[in-house]
């Protein structure tokens, strides 16, 4: 463990921009939802009717979990039911960035040549990430108390977020030991977060009808923390169970670290053929080989999201037809308007997710560069522009595929359930997010070409867009702050009218960013 303190300082320096963003964004969301719910209902009776229906609405239970109360505080925490999922992804990526990714890039071996213990890098990553989760919990608690909510419940809400982050931090420590690549470790960790969400979803839906699968919620860390019910029962033992799991997973990660060689994983890598096939003799073909697994996995995830969002859209329509909610929906423009607003808001979230894929695919260039693969490729007949264009092809085309998949599946699922033909409107809302996604991909490309050591800041741009989307309007931010996000300028279909001017402008900006990135890439050393 020698050298852990200095490695913690190094992690804090490297993540001094990225970590504060996700800590603040996710920490402030519960308080933002309090403001949203207070402004949505003009009377207590309307809020009680909404709570009653939400408890029995399968779509809302699937998306946010079970609602056990009807107060503003309980509804706000229920509405923040997806935050542990986003937190799980954030902490998993952070741990792997400072463990397996550093090891793959050779930084761990270099650091280990000094007076540093074998387990110090993992310990530093775990301590820093868990401390960030604790700070996030404090921010959530103070935000809720600042909204006038009870202190005890607000404290339990902060505990809920903190321990959920600790659980996935521990699992990320295990994932970092399983494979020899950071990409594989990230895939395992994110898949675990998705599986935990699906188990929680299946268990809660079964519990609605006293089904036999309600126990599924109790094999998911997300299900555990959502059974705390901070402003209701405030049960402590689900939090304790989560802490025990986090401690056990962390210990398992430390033990597994001692059972593998530096640079290797517990699952041995599969060696490829001695000679490349003819189909791999161009930069684009090689890029396809490198990106195909990532693209297929993301496409499958977007198809699953489309099914969930389509089913929840049907639930929104059911709320509009409910007599108890009729007056509320009438004030909002009617059931049809609310369904369109729902799909418009979902399109914005899906656009942010597609931007995550675009940034990840773009930064693959930097991964190839730091691993030394790019240098070897460029010693052959491949040019820098051709090598970069192969990766950028998937950065720009991949999001289009994902948005098409989600729009088609979501619109088809909603139409199959309700009989309404909204496929064209839903698909249009998803596809119009593409220029904004391309803009963020262009930012990632520019950072890779101009400031390669700062290329990870592209994730900060995505986080800012997420913050603007989730709480920008709720916090009543100035318009110039909202305009920072390219998604603010995208037509919000199917609610608004289609305007080509912002779409063309964003496309031009994205093209300029990519072109500048290619020029700067040619003018610097590789590797940087």
| 277 vs 146 pLDDT, higher one | 146
**What is the structure's pLDDT at 334?**
44
Cβ count within 10 A of residue 483? 12
User: Which tokens sit at 255?
Assistant: 């033990």
CA distance 442 to 74: 41
Whole-structure pTM value: 0.79
- What residues does each domain of the chain span? 1-263, 281-528
Write the pLDDT tens digit of every residue in 7-50: 999 999 998 888 998 899 899 889 888 887 887 777 788 788 77
Residue pair 290/364 in contact by the 8 Å Cβ criterion: yes
Write the pLDDT tens digit of every residue in 504-521: 999 999 999 999 999 998
Residue pair 146/208 in contact by the 8 Å Cβ criterion: no
Q: What percent of the chain has pLDDT over 90?
A: 33
Which residues are within 8 A (CB) of 325 and not within 5 positions of it... i.e. 6 or more apart?
49, 50, 53, 319
Which residues are within 8 A (CB) of 518 and not within 5 positions of it... i.e. 6 or more apart?
385, 388, 389, 445, 449
- Going by C-alpha positions, the residue among 217, 124, 134 that lies closest to residue 176 is 124
- Going by C-alpha positions, the residue among 256, 118, 273 that lies closest to residue 188 is 256
Residue pair 92/79 in contact by the 8 Å Cβ criterion: no
Cα–Cα distance list, 68 to 55, 130, 260 (Å): 7, 29, 46
* Stretch 271-298: mean pLDDT: 80
Which residues are within 8 A (CB) of 290 and not within 5 positions of it... i.e. 6 or more apart?
364, 368, 391
- Whose tokens are 């460029």? That residue is 378
- Round to the nearest angstrom and report the end-to-end CA distance of the chain: 31
* Stretch 466-473: mean pLDDT: 73
Write the pLDDT tens digit of every residue in 289-342: 888 888 998 898 889 888 877 877 766 666 555 544 445 544 444 456 667 777
User: Which tokens sit at 287?
Assistant: 């890029």
Residue pair 468/485 in contact by the 8 Å Cβ criterion: yes
Which residues are within 8 A (CB) of 327 and not within 5 positions of it... i.e. 6 or more apart?
46
Write the pLDDT tens digit of every residue in 124-146: 999 999 999 999 999 999 999 99
């Amino acid at each position: 463990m020698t050298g852990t303190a200095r490695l913690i300082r190094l992690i804090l320096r490297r993540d001094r921009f990225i970590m504060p963003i996700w800590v603040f964004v996710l920490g402030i969301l519960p308080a933002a939802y309090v403001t949203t719910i207070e402004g949505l209902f003009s009377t207590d009776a309307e809020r009680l009717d909404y709570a009653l229906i939400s408890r029995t609405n399968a779509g809302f239970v699937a998306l946010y979990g079970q609602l056990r109360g009807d107060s503003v505080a309980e509804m706000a925490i229920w509405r923040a039911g997806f935050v542990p999922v986003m937190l799980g992804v954030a902490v998993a990526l952070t741990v792997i960035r400072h463990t397996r990714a550093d090891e793959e890039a050779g930084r761990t071996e270099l650091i280990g040549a000094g007076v540093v213990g074998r387990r110090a890098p993992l310990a530093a990553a775990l301590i820093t990430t868990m401390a960030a989760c604790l700070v996030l919990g404090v921010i959530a608690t103070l935000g809720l108390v600042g909204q006038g909510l009870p202190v005890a419940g607000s404290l339990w809400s902060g505990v809920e977020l903190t321990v959920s982050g600790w659980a996935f931090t521990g699992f990320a420590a295990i994932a970092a030991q399983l494979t020899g690549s950071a990409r594989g470790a990230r895939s395992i960790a994110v898949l675990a977060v998705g599986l935990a969400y699906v188990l929680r979803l299946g268990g809660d839906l079964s519990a609605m009808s006293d089904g036999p699968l309600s126990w599924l919620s109790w094999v998911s860390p997300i299900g555990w923390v959502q059974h705390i019910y901070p402003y209701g029962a405030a049960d402590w033992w689900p939090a304790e169970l989560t802490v025990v799991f986090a401690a056990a997973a962390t210990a398992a990660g430390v033990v597994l670290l001692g059972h593998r060689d530096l640079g290797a994983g517990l699952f041995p890598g599969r060696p490829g053929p001695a000679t490349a096939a003819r189909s791999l003799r161009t930069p684009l073909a090689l890029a396809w080989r490198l990106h195909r697994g990532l693209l297929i996995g993301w496409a499958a995830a977007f198809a699953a999201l489309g099914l969930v969002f389509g089913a929840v859209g049907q639930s929104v329509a059911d709320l509009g037809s409910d007599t108890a909610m009729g007056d509320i929906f009438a004030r909002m423009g009617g059931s049809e308007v609310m369904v369109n607003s729902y799909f418009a808001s979902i399109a914005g979230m899906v656009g942010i997710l597609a931007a995550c894929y675009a940034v990840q695919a773009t930064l693959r260039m930097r991964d190839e560069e730091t691993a030394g693969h790019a240098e070897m490729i460029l010693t052959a007949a491949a040019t820098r522009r051709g090598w970069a264009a192969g990766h950028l092809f998937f950065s720009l085309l991949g999001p289009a595929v994902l948005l098409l998949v989600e729009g088609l599946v979501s619109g088809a699922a909603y139409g199959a359930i309700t009989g309404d033909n909204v496929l064209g409107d839903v698909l249009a809302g998803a596809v119009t997010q593409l220029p904004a996604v391309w803009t963020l991909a262009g930012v990632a490309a520019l950072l890779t070409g101009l400031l390669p050591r700062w290329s990870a800041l592209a994730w900060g741009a995505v986080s800012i867009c997420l913050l603007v989307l989730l709480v920008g309007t709720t916090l009543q931010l100035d318009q110039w702050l909202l305009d920072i996000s390219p998604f603010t300028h995208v037509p919000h279909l199917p609610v608004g009218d289609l305007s080509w001017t912002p779409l063309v402008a964003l496309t031009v900006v994205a093209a300029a960013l990519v072109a500048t990135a290619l020029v700067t890439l040619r003018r610097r050393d590789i590797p940087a």
